[in-house]
Amino acid sequence: MENTKEVIRINIWGQTAHFRIYGNQNFCDSYPLPPPSTVLGILREVLGERPPEPIKIAIKGKYEGIFFDYQTFLHGAIELDNKKDWWVNRKINRFTSSKKGDDVQLNPMFVKVLSKPRYTIYISTSEHHSYYLSKLNNPEGYISLGRSEDLAMLKAEATLTMKKQAKKKDKIKIEHLYLPREIYGSAPIFLPVSHIKDRNLKMEKIYYMQEAVSYYEGEYWETKDDDRFLWLLEYKDTLNGKLPKLLGY
């Protein structure tokens, strides 16, 4: 039996994207799709506040190519305004006061950049559906796909989805998306899933399917224009410390 649900589909596109994988000191690698934490950050910018909960998200999409940029990152004190002698010191992704004259460390690195990305984010939130849809079409701020220079456009719309059951004979493919569980041909990847401004950064083992190598078996969701996806995470009461829940379908 098929279940139907109206959800919000957000199409995001731009010229470049970079979703940094932290840990490598000499090379900035990138996730193929925006991590859940980045999606939450995009929603925060558009809404002008922390995304209301409960909310379920699904993330999918692809890009046309890859190229490598050479960027210099600044660490230490940075003078922003000579007239005001306004200096800041970057430590642990936060800016704090610093004494004028502190050293500036230059850190040149190769950066993996995704060319002409196009992503689709699905949102399900029965309690805040109208609010999200209204704000997404009248955003409070601009959005970027990773770095501040990776500016992007978005379009949001309500769409009807149906819950279906696939068997191998149906020849259904699920691809170009993050998965909440392993499917044959998918690759495990650890992604940040918590709100960026939360005290503790939560990482979750999630799977990425680029191109399907076999037909899918199991439950999935499909839009009226035949776009297929699986729900990835649910956020509920995270402001009070509750962790996001990894979903099955």
The phi, psi pair for 54, rounded to 5°, reads -80, 155
Q: Taking 80 as the threshold, does the pLDDT of residue 100 lie above it? A: no
Position 75 scores a pLDDT of: 53
**pLDDT tens column, 110-128:** 899 999 999 999 999 999 9
Say what the pLDDT of residue 93 is.
40
Angle among Cα 180, 183, 186 to the nearest 5 degrees reads 90
213: CB partners within 8 A, 6+ apart: 184, 185
The CA angle 41-194-202, to the nearest 5 degrees, is 145
Full set of structural domains in the chain with CATH: 3-64+116-246 (3.30.70), 65-114 (no CATH)
- In terms of Cβ atoms closer than 10 Å to its own Cβ (0-12, 13-18, 19+), residue 160 is exposed
pLDDT at 134 over 50: yes
Reported as type and span, the H/E element at residue 216 is: none
pLDDT for res 173: 94
Going by their DSSP bridges, the two strands 20-21 and 245-246 should be labelled as unpaired
- Alpha helices by DSSP H, 65-220: 129-136
Question: Distance (Å, rounded) from C-alpha 214 to C-alpha 212?
Answer: 6
What is the pLDDT, as a whole number, of residue 220?
Answer: 95
The pLDDT confidence band at residue 89, using thresholds 50, 70 and 90, is very low
Position with higher pLDDT, 84 vs 244? 244
Q: Does pTM top 0.75 for this prediction?
A: yes
Question: What tens digit of pLDDT does each residue of 15-24 get?
Answer: 999 999 977 6
* pLDDT number for residue 94: 41
pLDDT band at residue 108 under the 50/70/90 scheme: low
Among 92-96, 186-190, 208-212, 229-233, which is the least confidently predicted range?
A: 92-96
Q: Is the pLDDT of residue 98 over 60?
A: no
User: What residues contact 152, with CB distance under 8 A and at least 6 apart?
Assistant: 12, 13, 14, 17, 143, 144, 145
Given pLDDT bands bounded at 50, 70 and 90, which one contains residue 206?
very high
Query: CA 216, CA 167: separation in Å to the nearest integer?
Result: 7
- Categorize the per-residue pLDDT at 241 as very low, low, confident or very high, splitting at 50, 70 and 90: confident
The gap between the terminal CA atoms of the chain, to the nearest Å, is: 15
pLDDT for 163 equals 95
Whether 126 and 43 have beta carbons less than 8 Å apart is answered as: no
